[in-house]
Amino acid sequence: MAFQSQLDRLDVVLISPRNPLNIGAAARAMANFGFTQLAVVAPYEPHWREARSAVGAPELLAKARQTAMFAEAVSDSTLVIGTATLTRRKPEQPVVQLPDLAPIVRHELARDGRVALVFGSEKRGLTAEDLAHCHLLVEIPTDPRQPSMNLGQAVAVCLYEIASRVGQPLAIGTSTLPLDQASTPKDLRANLRSPGGDPPATTSELDRLARIVEETMLAANYSPAAMRKANRHDLHLLLRRLALTRPDARRILGLFRRILWRLHHCDGQAKD
């Protein structure tokens, strides 16, 4: 039951899927490996819940959340993992290979976090704006002659890797220890946040902080209007790299609210 409760805190998020059969195939893969939480963002077809490819998973498909915006689908997530083919794009956040993903997911679930595994549309994948909301990217090792995968197959491959490893102890040398008691592999340490008493900030908390920081930047005339979109993109990436806890996010939010208030109410004179 403890293992299942962990899997229930991993959301599979499909952004703008075009083919209902692919949504059904993703739901079937989730049922195969014990995952239950599916979110579909702005689907292309309105009748996607009727997909016949969801063999053995009609209830999962019926209970899936539908949202209009990506941010809404991952609002409660503390770790958002994007899936991407990097043959034509330069990543702006840490990239892990699929075999290295499970320890990161286990670490987040062990500290009572919530993980979102995000897949882009069949036509264009994840956009730059989508990726700005991801803490890291996972790359599925494929033949460079055919790097892209069918959406349903990509979901199945990723979930198999996670499900087959999350419930098992992490092997370190000749010993086996739970992840929170073992040293993480050296190449993953930079991508894992240290466990502590405070819970990690959720995506909605980071987005709220990003909005107030952006308002402060605008009030201070930080940069020309033409740079605002790029600044917003960089700000979202920065906040995720900082790996803030919820108390830290609240403190910084209060700080910027105070700065913004002073910018709007002070007459330019220095005040104590």
DSSP 145: T
- 68 burial level (CB within 10 Å; 0-12, 13-18, 19+): exposed
pLDDT the model gives residue 173: 32
Cα 118 from Cα 109, distance rounded (Å): 16
> For residue range 96-144, what is the model confidence (pLDDT) as tens digits?
989 899 999 988 988 889 999 999 998 888 888 898 999 999 988 888 7
Q: Which of 125, 143, 121 is nearest to 84 (CA)?
A: 125
Check: CATH 3.40.1280.10 for 2-191? yes
- 197 burial level (CB within 10 Å; 0-12, 13-18, 19+): exposed
3-state secondary structure of 41: strand
Instruction: Decide if pLDDT at 267 tops 80.
Output: no
Provide the residue type at 10 as one letter.
L
Q: Which helix (H) or strand (E) holds 10?
A: strand 10-15
Residue that has been written with the tokens 């240290």 in this structure: 194
Across 58-62, 143-147, 151-155, least confident range: 143-147
> For residue range 192-224, what is the model confidence (pLDDT) as tens digits?
454 457 888 999 999 999 999 999 999 998 888
pLDDT the model gives residue 88: 67
Percent of the chain with pLDDT over 70: 84
pLDDT the model gives residue 74: 95
Across 164-178, 186-200, 218-232, least confident range: 164-178
Backbone φ, ψ for residue 185 (5° rounding): -55, 145
Instruction: Decide if pLDDT at 269 tops 80.
Output: no
DSSP 245: B
pLDDT the model gives residue 168: 52
C-beta of residue 119 within 8 angstroms of C-beta of residue 73: no
> For residue range 60-99, what is the model confidence (pLDDT) as tens digits?
999 999 999 999 999 999 999 999 877 666 778 899 989 8
Give the distance from CA 65 to its chain's centroid. Answer: 16
pTM of the model: 0.79
